Amino acid sequence: MTDLTCDVAIIGAGTAGLAAERSARKNGARTLLIDPAFNGTTCATVGCMPSKLLIGAARAAQDARGAGAFGIRTSVGVDGPAVLQRLRKLRDDFVDATRAGIAKLPEDSRITARARFTGPDRLALSTGDTVQAGAIIIATGSSPMIPPPYRDLAGLLTNDTIFELEDLPQSLAVIGGGVIGLELAQAMARLGTRVAIFDQGDQLGGTRCKVVQQVLQDALSRELTLHLGTNPEPQDDNGQTRIDWDGGSDKFDKVLVATGRAPNLAGLDLEKTGLSLNDKGLPEVDPETLQCADAPIFLVGDANAARPLLHEASDEGAIAGRGALAFPARVPSSRKTPLAITFTDPPLVSVGAAPGDGAKTGSADYTNQGRARVDNRNTGLARIHASAPDGRLIGADLFCPGADHMGHLLALAIAQGLTARDLLDQPFYHPTLEEGLKPALREICAAVPLQIPGDRDTGSPPGA
């Protein structure tokens, strides 16, 4: 047994943990990065990258089917095994790149082991060694939540297992209409699988705007079946899974449970830290520092269940790395403008804040937008929110072509404190999807006239 010491110990080598280790070491800390496998990040292995590879294949199939609108005649056939083989090959490339980066870390700072707390600044490792640290960062990630009725199903899938399928299923029930459920459901439907989404609520993808929610629901219902506000009950049935719900019953080859991901905190013995834990086993976390109460403990990334997004995990790791080294001094950091993207087609995007009392909202309909019609992608809606009486942009909810790119533009505008008039005064090239935002911005300007020093907007051609 060896007694190890360091300035900052990090438990978990995912996106948040790697960022935390890098941040602390860059600022002069002696670090120890502890992980049981160093297998790579959730993003590369079972999250962002494999899901986008499946979505990319689905988009190619859908584009081929829609080519007739341009006078292009095609015949579409989907080779399921080939789709999944390509997915895994490129997924493994991304994972290998992540592991190569981990391998470049100082060898004496990496420990392959499981860790558990024996005190607020002490860890016991599965190797038998112990660690005494100035501060400890928990970056253990998350795992799929599987409700009890689904745990023993023969056809059970999660986002941790779906990419290992050898072929596409003929039919798929998706339990949960959140980000993961929507992305994989639409992709599978476009690849030829019969898909139905079941959700106890009536809100898909965490949408904040009822108008956008309805447009999203209408668009998805043209490609797959939606059973919202239902309580599905599953059971194995002769090699398939039968789903019963209020008013119906159906059988599926596979069931994808996409009801969220829970923080990986089991086995850490957090109760030995002296922290007060809530009913979910989580301590209170300061969003500006990621510190747990006054303890030398920081909780980041998916493990804190606050902002389960890669760029947020990376930011949180960097914030905690600095704060852990500075402990007991408190080092608050400002957070970036919230930006969340669901890679449906068209993309579903939320930026900044939801509109509060007195806020003004402008809308832009993309069903008749010029560039969207040119590309045969004229579906969706953009809603932009501004404060009154100054017209300063505060948020947006988008479900329209190009929303994943326009979300970044709007996040920058919000961070810079721009008004709707300020954004209208910038160049909008014709014909682009970005140009389609102008009706929403003009609507805000009309509702908040005090922001207009002089009307320099020359308008757009009809249908733009």
Please report the pLDDT score of residue 356 as a whole number: 87
Average pLDDT over residues 348-370: 95
pLDDT above 90 (res 308)? no
Q: Which two tokens stand for residue 406?
A: 């326009």
Q: What is the 3-state secondary structure (H, E, C) of the chain?
A: CCEEEEEEEEECCCHHHHHHHHHHHHCCCCEEEEECCCCCCHHHHCCHHHHHHHHHHHHHHHHHHHHHHHCCCCCCCCCHHHHHHHHHHHHHHHHHHHHHHHHCCCHHHEEECCEEEEECCEEEECCCCEEEEEEEEECCCEEECCCHHHCCCCCEECCCCHHHCCCCCCEEEEECCCHHHHHHHHHHHHCCCEEEEEECCCCCCCCCCHHHHHHHHHHHHCCCEEEECCCCEEEEECCEEEEEECCEEEEECEEEECCCEEECCCCCCHHHHCCCECCCCCECECCCCCEECCCCEEECHHHHCCCCCHHHHHHHHHHHHHHHHHCCCCCCCCCCCCEEEECCCCCEEEEECCCCCCCEEEEEECCCCHHHHHCCCCCCEEEEEECCCCCEEEEEEEECCCHHHHHHHHHHHHHCCCEHHHHHCCCCCCCCCHHHHHHHHHHHHHHCHHHCCCCCCCCCCCCC
Average pLDDT over residues 163-182: 98
Average pLDDT over residues 20-26: 96
pLDDT above 90 (res 305)? no
Please report the pLDDT score of residue 307 as a whole number: 85
Give the rounded percent of residues in the chain with a pLDDT score beyond 70: 97
pLDDT band at 2 (very low <50, low <70, confident <90, very high): confident
Please report the pLDDT score of residue 459 as a whole number: 55
Q: What is the pLDDT of residues 390-424, one digit of tens each?
A: 999 999 999 999 999 999 999 999 999 999 999 99
Please report the pLDDT score of residue 454 as a whole number: 44
- Please count the other Cβ atoms lying within 10 Å of the Cβ belonging to residue 95: 20
Asked if 144 and 67 count as a contact pair (C-beta separation under 8 A), the reply is no
pLDDT band at 455 (very low <50, low <70, confident <90, very high): very low
Please report the pLDDT score of residue 460 as a whole number: 57
- Please count the other Cβ atoms lying within 10 Å of the Cβ belonging to residue 202: 12
Average pLDDT over residues 380-392: 95
Q: What is the pLDDT of residues 87-128, one digit of tens each?
A: 999 999 999 999 999 999 999 999 999 999 999 999 999 999
Average pLDDT over residues 155-184: 98
pLDDT band at 302 (very low <50, low <70, confident <90, very high): very high
Q: What does the alpha-carbon distance between residue 419 and residue 89 come to, in Å, rounded to a whole number?
A: 46
Q: What are phi and psi of 301, to 5 degrees?
A: 70, -155
Please report the pLDDT score of residue 77 as a whole number: 97
Q: What is the pLDDT of residues 191-248, one digit of tens each?
A: 999 999 999 999 999 999 999 999 999 999 999 999 999 999 999 999 999 999 998 9
Q: Which two tokens stand for residue 323?
A: 């704060």
Q: What does the alpha-carbon distance between residue 414 and residue 279 come to, in Å, rounded to a whole number?
A: 36
Q: What is the pLDDT of residues 429-444, one digit of tens each?
A: 999 999 999 999 999 9
- Domains located in the chain, CATH noted: 3-144+262-326 (3.50.50.60), 148-259 (3.50.50.60), 339-451 (3.30.390.30)
Q: What is the pLDDT of residues 50-92, one digit of tens each?
A: 999 999 999 999 999 999 999 999 999 999 999 999 999 999 9
Asked if 438 and 431 count as a contact pair (C-beta separation under 8 A), the reply is no
pLDDT above 70 (res 38)? yes
Please report the pLDDT score of residue 464 as a whole number: 61
Q: What does the alpha-carbon distance between residue 20 and residue 10 come to, in Å, rounded to a whole number?
A: 7
- On average, the pLDDT of the chain sits at 95
pLDDT band at 1 (very low <50, low <70, confident <90, very high): confident
Average pLDDT over residues 35-58: 96
